[in-house]
Amino acid sequence: MTDKELKELVASLAVSHEEMRADLVASQKQTRAEMEKLRASQRETDRQLKETDRQLKETIQETDRQIKELGRQIGGLGRKFGGLTEGMAYPSMKKLLRERFHMEFIVPRVEITRHGRSMELDVFGYSNGKENRAVVVEVKSRLDESGIEQMERIMARFDEFLPEHRDKQRFGIVAAVDCSQEMENQVRQRGFYLARIQDELFVLDSPESFRPRYFGTC
C-alpha cells in the first residue's frame, strides 16, 4: 500500500468515525427527547388520575349526602303519614269504642314508662263496673306481619305496664289503611278485631262469626 493509499484510508476512517459519532449524538438527542415526552405524558397522566380521583371522591360524598337527605325525607314522610293515619283513625275509632264496646275512657297516643322501659299505645280505652274491659288499638298505614307481632307483644306486656288494669278483660283491634288478604286472615287468626277505612272512617271489618281473643281475666 502506497503512502497515498494509506492516507486516503486513514482519511476515510476518520470521516466514518465522525459520521458514526454524529449519528450516535443525534440518536441520543432523539432518545432524550422521547424520554422527556414520555415523562411529560406520565406527568399529565398522573395529573389526570389525581383529578379523576378528586372528582370521584366529590361525587361519592355528594351521593352519600343525597342518600342521607333522601333517608331523612322518607323517614319524615313515614312519620308524617303515620301520624296522619292515627289522627284520622281516632275520631271514628273513639265513636266505635263508645258505641260498640261501651268504653268509658278513651285516650290516644298513650306512652307508659316503668322501670326504665317504655310502651306506646295508639289508642287505649277501658270501662269499669259491669263491663270491666280494656282495649288496645294499633293503627298501621300499611299492615305487615311485624305490625301483628307488635300487637302480640303489647298484649303480652300489658300487665307489666298497666298493672292497675290487670283485673280487666282485654282485647285488641288492628286498624289498617292498606292490608292484604293474607294479613287480614292473620289478624283474625290471632284473635284481633280488624278495622278498615271506608269513606275516610275506620269501621270494623270482622265477620259476625268472628270470636275475639281475650287476654287477662275471663
Number of Cβ atoms within 10 Å of the Cβ of 141: 17
pLDDT digits 0-9 by tens, 106-148: 988 888 998 888 998 989 999 988 888 999 998 888 888 888 9
Q: Is residue 31 part of a domain?
A: no
CATH of the domain at 151: 3.40.1350.10
Q: Strand 169-178 and strand 215-216: pairing?
A: antiparallel
Q: Is residue 74 part of a domain?
A: no
Q: Is residue 56 part of a domain?
A: no
Q: Is residue 166 part of a domain?
A: yes
pLDDT digits 0-9 by tens, 83-104: 545 566 678 888 889 998 999 9
Contacts of 194 (CB under 8 A, 6+ apart): 173, 174, 175, 176, 179, 184, 187, 188, 204, 205, 206
Q: Which uninterrupted H or E stretch holds 109? A: strand 105-114
Q: Is residue 194 part of a domain?
A: yes
Pick the most confident of 38-47, 66-75, 138-147, 200-209.
138-147
Amino acid at 118: S
Full domain range(s) for residue 114: 89-216
Q: Is residue 33 part of a domain?
A: no
**CA atoms of 99 and 101, how far apart (whole Å):** 6
Q: Is residue 16 part of a domain?
A: no
Q: For the chain, what is the domain count?
A: 1
